[in-house]
Amino acid sequence: MKIRRAELLVSCPKASVFPEGERPEVAFLGRSNVGKSSLLNALVQRKQLAHTSSTPGKTRMIHFFEVDTEKDAFTLVDLPGYGWARVSKKERGSWQHLVESYLENRPQLCAAILLQDVRRDFSEDETLLLDWLAQRDVDALVVFTKADKLKTMQRKKRIALLRKQLGDRTTPTLVTSSQKRLGLEEVWRAIRERGRSED
Ligand SMILES: Nc1nc2c(ncn2[C@@H]2O[C@H](COP(=O)(O)OP(=O)(O)OP(=O)(O)O)[C@@H](O)[C@H]2O)c(=O)[nH]1
Ligand SMILES: [Mg+2]
C-alpha cells in the first residue's frame, strides 16, 4: 500500500473534543502492550507516528490519524489499551467511559480491529468486548500480533487454539508482525473493504 500522507489530527482525552469529519474511521483496540501503536506505524510506514512504549498504558488518550493512500482516505484511531496492572477502579472506569463513548457515538466508524497477542489466550476482556461490539453492530476483526515471537509450527497451533476460543463468533482473524512486517497488506485489504465509501 502506498501511503501519501499520515498525520496526527488530534489527541482527545474526552468525548466532547472528538473531531468532526466524514472520513471513514477504523479503530484499533486491545490490551495495553499488545502492539496497537506499532501496528498503526507499520501500516502507515512511519516509525513513531503513534507513540509506542515498552511501558504498558502509555496511550491514555484517543489519537486520530489522518491517512491518505493512493486511492482512499481514512482516519485510523489509536484507542488506549486496557488491562494494565496497578490502576485504580476510577482509572479503569475512565478508560471504559472514554472508549465506550467513542465506540457508541461515532457514525464514521466502519470497523474496530481488536488486537490479540498470538501468545496469549483470549480473556473475558476480549470476548466481552467482541460481544459488546456485535450487539452494537460494529464490524469487528481480530488481528493477532507479534507473530515473529513464535516459530511456524507453534504459531499455527496458537492460531488454531485462539480461533477455537472464539467459539461460534464469526469474527474474521488475521495474523501480523509489525516488527517483521507480516500480514500488513491483509490488514490494509480488510480496512479498505470496510472503509470504502459506496461507489
Ligand atoms: N517482537 C515484536 N514486538 C512488538 C510487535 N509489535 C509491538 N511490539 C512491542 O510491544 C511493545 C508494545 O507495543 P505498543 O505498540 O506500544 O503497544 P500498544 O498496544 O500501543 O500499548 P498501549 O499504548 O500501552 O496500549 C513495544 O515494546 C513494541 O516494540 C511485533 O510485531 N513484534
Ligand atoms: Mg499505544
- Where are the domains positioned within the chain? 3-192
3-192 belongs to CATH 3.40.50.300: yes
CA-nearest residue, atom 21 of ligand 1: 33
Which pLDDT score is estimated for 197?
Answer: 54
Q: Which ligand is nearest to the CA of 148?
A: 1
Give the mean model confidence (pLDDT) for residues 58-81: 90
CA–CA gap between residue 112 and residue 25 (Å, rounded)? 9
**Which residue, chain included where needed, has cell 498525520?**
7
The pLDDT tens digits of the residues spanning 136-150 come to: 999 999 999 999 999
Bridge partners of residue 119, in order along the sequence: none
Annotate 59-78 with b (16+ C-beta within 10 A) or e (fewer): beebbbbbbbbeebbbbbbb
Looking at the whole model, is its pTM more than 0.75?
Answer: yes
Instruction: Supply 194's cell numbers.
Output: 470496510
Per-residue model confidence as pLDDT tens digits over 91-116 = 778 888 899 999 998 999 999 999 99
62 CA distance to ligand 2 middle (Å):
10
- Amino acid present at 15: A
- How far are the Cα atoms of 1, 74, 108 from residue 71, in angstroms, in the given order? 10, 10, 18
Beta carbons of 129 and 156 less than 8 angstroms apart: no
- What pLDDT does residue 199 have? 46
Tell which atom from ligand 1 comes closest to the C-alpha of 40.
Answer: 15
Give the DSSP letter string of 5-33: EEEEEEEESSGGG-----S-EEEEEEBTT
DSSP state of 106: -
> From the CA of 38, how far away is ligand 1's center (Å)?
5
DSSP string, 110-162: EEEEEEEETTS---HHHHHHHHHHHHTT--EEEEEE-GGGS-HHHHHHHHHHH
